[in-house]
Each structure stands twice: as structure tokens, then as C-alpha cells.
Amino acid sequence: MKNIYKNSPKNLNKAKKLLRKNNIIVVPTETVYGLAGNAYSNSSIKKIYKLKKRPKINPLIIHYSNIESLKKDAHIDEKFIKLYKKFSPGPLTYILRKRKNSKISPLANANLKTIAVRFPKNKIIRTLLKKLKFPLAIPSANISSAISPVSCNDVLDEFGKKIKFVLDGGSAKIGLESTVINLYGKTQILRPGLITKNQISQVLNKKIKIQKKTDKIISPGLLKRHYSPGIPVKLNCKTKEDKAAFIVFGKKYKNNNKDIFNLSKSGDLEEAARKLYKTFRKIKNLGFKTINVVKIPNKKIGIAINDRLRKAAN
């Protein structure tokens, strides 16, 4: 496909030029593929919201290559430093207080006092960030509320010819969005991910909780979030309904019928996370009208899988 570009110095330079002119491109990250734009530019941010059909009240995550460049845009504290040392670069997003003189477009953080920031680990996006004089706003490269893309083909499935430049990074290593932790006000997890609340609690030496539905909404995008394959999803199924696609997990399900999709035959939750969105997309494109899902163990990254499944089933 001619809008997919392999990782090479020439193509990274091309990406840099496009971003400097406030164009939007697609980039790989270790979590999912993202739509990237200059976070300092109002016009770039407007283009991102328009492409994704994302509600303007749902702020974007700003991506940096290092802590020095972040300091111009956000206030950092001891908790942040501790977590940063342990988990960044990687799939952890921090909510921090935005500096008054920050150049981040207010459209990117829905005019809030805070910004969400992340230091991605994927080599391609890191190399690109290091070449730029501005951070990148990068939400997932899908239409708002749909399934996140984990490969270049998924991006094309979402946007078709609307996207002119996709940097190819192969399949996303993790396949689920980052853990989001609030560090402004009550320290709590707003979205579970690969990095768990136990790991975070250990580093902060304090019991950290996952935000409950009943708590005050500080992450405007989270409640409406769907991760939806566009067809009904039914959870905790013991057996399969007639004509439904059945998503299963573990050794118990050896059956290779074409309506059974095993997220991990060996019962590996990280493999299941990697395959979840790919499986949703496959089932949708095969034309199934409903999805049944077995119970997935609610531990480690299984907590994040169950979070996305619940939202998909909503």
C-alpha cells in the first residue's frame, strides 16, 4: 500500500517534515497505533478531533521523549519522579498540572487545568520524538468509540484513504491502551492497563485504587468510552449462542471451529491482551452479528482486558 512507510531515516525525516507543517500522520507505539500531531498547534489538534470524530471534551495524551521537555509544560513532583524512574518510557500515562505558560494547545486538554503525558517506549516513535522541537498529541488511530488499531492494516480499515502517511512498526507489542494514573488531587488509576495498581502501589508505598464509576468524573473521556466492535458483546458466557462468534481463553478450548476465537490457548493474559482488538476486528469483518465472551481471569493485565470488554459490552 502506498501510504504505508517502512521505518528508515528517510521516512522518519519525511514524518518530521509533515508534523512540522502541522499535518497528521499515523505512528506505531507499544500500546496501539496512534494519530500524531504537533501538540503546540491548534490547527493540528483540530485536525485530530475531526478525523477521529472525537468529542472535544475528551482530552488527548501528550507524548514526550524525555522529562526535560515535559518540564516546560507541566508541574512534576516526587510521586511522578518515582513512577517515571520505574515505568517510563513505557505504557503509563500521568495526569499532571499544566503550567500556565505551557505552549500545549488548550484544545488538546479540553481546557482543563491538567494534561495527560506519556513517554512511549516503541523505538520508532521515540526516535521521531527526539527529532522534533515539540511534543506530539497521540490518541489511538480509530474513529472515536471504535476498536483501537494494533497494525497498519487496522488503521486502513478505520480510515481508508483519509490517512496519507502511516509509519509501519509491525504489530503492537501490548495491544491495549496505557494505564492512566491521576497525580493531581486524589492519586488513583483512571484506566487500567499493563502496569497494574499493585505495581504502582508498591512504588508509591501506598494503596492505590482504580477510580469507581461513582467517583467524581475527572477523566471526561472515560465514561463514554466504548472500544466497541459495533455489534453486541455478551460477557461471562459458559456456552455459545446460535450464530454468535465465541471468544474463549485457555487450554480448555481446543476446538478450532471457525466461530471460536481463542485469545490464548496457553492461558497467557498478555497474549490475550495483544489479540483482543485484532479478534474483535476479525469477527466484525467476518460479518458476525453478536459476540459471546467467556469469563477472563481478573488479574494482572486481565483487569484491563475486562475493563475494555465491559465498555465494549455497554
Cα 128-130-134 angle, rounded to 5 deg: 90
220 binds, among ligand AMP, Mg ion, none (CB under 5 to 8 A by kind): ligand AMP
Least spacing, CB of residue 140 vs Mg ion, in Å: 3
Q: Which does 112 bind (CB under 5 to 8 A by kind): Mg ion, ligand AMP, none?
A: ligand AMP
As a whole number of angstroms, the distance between CA 228 and CA 122 comes to 25
| Spatial CB neighbours of 228, under 8 Å, sequence gap ≥ 6 | 145, 146, 147, 311, 312, 314
Per-residue b or e along 174-191, where b marks 16 or more CB atoms closer than 10 Å to that residue's CB = bbbbbbbbbbbeebbbbb
222 binds, among ligand AMP, Mg ion, none (CB under 5 to 8 A by kind): ligand AMP
Nearest approach in angstroms of CB 235 to ligand AMP is 21
Residue 224 contacts residue 270 (beta carbons within 8 Å): no
# of chain residues touching Mg ion (CB under 5 A): 1
- The SS3 call for residue 155 is helix
Which of 122, 140, 145, 151 forms a contact with Mg ion (CB under 5 A)?
140
Find the shortest distance in angstroms from Cβ 98 to ligand AMP.
8
Q: Between 180 and 247, whose beta carbon lies closer to ligand AMP?
A: 180
Beta bridge partners of 188: 182, 209
Residue closer to ligand AMP, measured from CB, 206 or 224: 224
Q: Which is nearer to ligand AMP, 28 or 139 (CB)?
A: 139
Half-sphere exposure of residue 51: CA atoms within 13 angstroms, side-chain side: 28
Please state the closest distance from residue 252 (CB atom) to ligand AMP, in A. 32
User: Which partner, Mg ion, ligand AMP, none, binds residue 36 by CB below 5 to 8 Å per kind?
Assistant: none
- Give the nearer residue to Mg ion in terms of CB position, either 37 or 248: 37
Distances (CA, A) of 237 to 84, 157, 241, 279, 306: 39, 29, 9, 17, 13
Residue 9 beta carbon to ligand AMP: minimum distance, rounded to whole angstroms: 28
Nearer to ligand AMP, 52 or 284 (CB): 52
The three-class DSSP label of residue 33 is: coil
Residues that bind ligand AMP (CB under 6 A): 58-61, 95, 109, 112, 114-116, 139-140, 177, 180, 190-191, 218-222
Q: Out of ligand AMP, Mg ion, none, which partner does residue 229 contact, by CB within 5 to 8 A per kind?
A: none
Residue with CB nearest Mg ion? Answer: 140
Shortest gap between Cβ of 148 and Mg ion (angstroms)? Answer: 6
Smallest distance, Mg ion to C-beta of residue 2, A: 26
C-alpha cell at 81: 519522579
Give Cβ neighbours of residue 175 (< 8 Å, ≥ 6 apart).
31, 32, 150, 273, 274, 275, 276, 277, 278
**Dihedral sign for Cα atoms in the order 37, 43, 49, 50:** negative
Q: Which is nearer to ligand AMP, 240 or 281 (CB)?
A: 281
Exposed / middle / buried, residue 207 (Cβ in 10 Å: 0-12, 13-18, 19+): exposed
Which among ligand AMP, Mg ion, none contacts residue 218 (Cβ within 5 to 8 A by kind)?
Answer: ligand AMP
3-state helix, strand, coil in the chain (%, to 5): 30, 20, 50
In the complex, the residues that contact Mg ion under the rule CB under 5 A are 140
